[in-house]
Amino acid sequence: MKYTLSGHSNRNAAEEMLITLLPGEKHEYIENACQNERNVLFSSLSETEKTVLGRAFVTTENGKFEGACKINITGLDEDAVKRSKNRAVKLSVYRAVIKIIGKKPAWGALSGVRPSKLAVKCMSEGMSGRETEKLLKSRYDVSSDKRKLLIKTATAALNAKKDMRPLDTSLYISIPFCPSRCAYCSFVSHSVKNSRKLIPLYLETLYSEMREVNEIIKQSGFNISTVYIGGGTPTVLTEEQLSELIFSSREIFDFSNVIEYTVEAGRPDTIDEGKLKVMRDLGVTRISINPQSMVDDVLKRSLRPHSAEDIRAVYKTARGIGGFDINMDLIAGLPGDTEEGFSKSLDEIIKMCPENITVHTLALKKGADLKHDAKYESPMGKSVQGMLKYAERALFKSGYAPYYIYRQKYSVGGFENVGYAKAGKECLYNLYMMEEMQTIFSVGAGAVTKMRRADGSLIDRIINPKYPYEYTNEIDRINRGKKKILEFFDSDAK
C-alpha cells in the first residue's frame, strides 16, 4: 500500500504497522499525495500542550476508512512524549486498516521483534499478570491466546533475571558458513563449496578480535555467564577447526562463571560422532539439531540436503555420547507442508524428548531464494495458524512451556517464533539476548555487540561487517573501534 504523512515524519511507525497488517503487500512512501487519491493511506499527527492526536484514513472503492488515537501527554518528559507520538501514529493506522481487511489480527496493534518486552516492563514495575493482560487488550487489541503467551514468556524472563548478577554478560561467536543454502534462508552465510579456503583466515581473524574483546571485558569487570556459537552452521567446520575454535575460546576468555555453552549444530549433514565428542569434552552444554521438518518431500523442496532418517540417526548418536541439552527447530509454513505433515513432524520430535523445541513461522525475506521462486506458492495464513495452535497444545500437553518469543518482518500471517522448554531447561542466552537483559559481546562477521546501561535506559550497538571477506580485510579497523565500548561503559560509570 502507498502511504503519506502529514504533521510528522515517523515513517517507521506507519510502515511497521502496514507490514504487520498487510505482510504480503509492497508498501511505498509517497510525498504530497492528493487527499482524493484512492488506496493511499494518509497518516497525520497533531499536538497540543496536553495531548497528541494521530489520525489515519484510506479511501477505497468500498468507501473511506478512518482511525484515530488520542494520548494524554501531560507531565511526560521528552522521551515519553516521543514514544506517545509513535504509539498514536501506529494505533491510528491500525484502527483504519483493520476496517479494510475486515478482521483483527491475533497480535492486534502490537508490532516489533520483541512482543513480550512490554509485558516484561509492566510486570517488573509491579503490575500483576492479570493487569498486564488487561493493558494488552485495551491498548493494543491483542487476542486472548497471545496475551496468555506473553504472560508466560514474560514470567520466564523475569525468573531468569532474578538469578542474574549485575556484571553478568554473554558472548556470541559468529561462524557465517553453511554447507549449502536452504531455500528459505535470508542470513548472510556462505556456502563452503565456494568459501572453504577462506575459513582458516577467518578463524585466525576471529581469534584476534576475541583477544581484543577479552581485554575490554576484563577492564570493564564483566563476568561471562553464557556463550553461544551461531551462524551459519558452526559444525560445517572440520573436527580439527571446531576443536581449535572451542579450545581457543576457553583459552582466551575467563569461562569460570559460564553456566551455559551452546553450539548451533543445525544441519545433521554436518554432525558426526567426532565433532560431538569434541564439543562434549571441551565443555559445550547445549547443541541444536534442527530438522525444520520430518517430511522428506518438504525437506527436499526446502533444499535441505538430508532426510528425516538422518535426523533420527544424529539425535541417537548425540544422546549416546551424552552431556548435552538439545534444541530442535521446526518451521511452520515450509513449501509443500500441510497441517497434517507439520503435526506429524512435531509429534515425532516430541517423542525424541529434546530439552528445547523451537517453533518458527516461515519468514519470506528479500534475501531468501524462495522469495524469488515463481513456482513457490506462499502458504495460507490460516494453515500456518493451525500448525502453531497444534504446536502450542501438543507441547503444553507434553510438559513444554513457552519461554521466549520473537517476531520477524514478512513472516507468514504475521505470526511468531516461540521457544519451548522443559522445566529448568530454558536457554538463558536466548532470554538474555531477546529481552535485552544484559550486554552481549559479539565477535565475527555480521556480529552485533549490544551494550546495555546498568539501569537499562540505553542500548547501543556496534555492528561488524556482514561478509567474511570484508571482516578479514577490516579487522584492524574493527579492533580499533572497540574503544567505543570502553567509552560507553566509562560514561555509564560516571
Which residue segments constitute the domains of the chain, with CATH numbers given? 1-103 (3.90.950.10), 163-443 (3.20.20.70)
Q: Which residues contact 292 (CB under 8 A, 6 or more apart)?
A: 182, 299, 302, 304, 329, 330, 331, 334
- C-alpha–C-alpha distance, residues 427 and 153, integer Å: 12
Q: How confident is the model at residue 162 (pLDDT cuts 50, 70, 90)?
A: very high
Q: Which residues contact 52 (CB under 8 A, 6 or more apart)?
A: 45, 46, 70, 71, 73, 81, 84, 85, 88
**pTM of the predicted structure, to 2 decimals:** 0.91
In angstroms, how far is CA 400 from the centroid of its own chain?
A: 20
- pLDDT tens for 225-270 read 999 999 889 999 999 999 999 999 999 999 999 999 999 998 899 9
Q: How confident is the model at residue 180 (pLDDT cuts 50, 70, 90)?
A: confident
- pLDDT tens for 315-367 read 999 999 999 999 999 999 998 899 999 999 999 999 999 999 999 999 875 55
- pLDDT tens for 30-66 read 988 888 889 999 999 999 999 999 999 999 999 999 9
- Mean pLDDT score across all residues of the chain: 91
- Checking if the pLDDT of 95 tops 90, the result is yes
Longest dimension (CA), the chain: 69
Q: How confident is the model at residue 490 (pLDDT cuts 50, 70, 90)?
A: confident
Instruction: Encode 284-318: b = buried (16+ Cβ within 10 Å), e = exposed.
Output: bbbbbbbbbbbbeebbebbebebbbebbeebbebb
Beta bridge partners of 113: none
User: What's the rounded mean pLDDT across residues 178-187?
Assistant: 72
- Residue entry with cell 554478560: 169
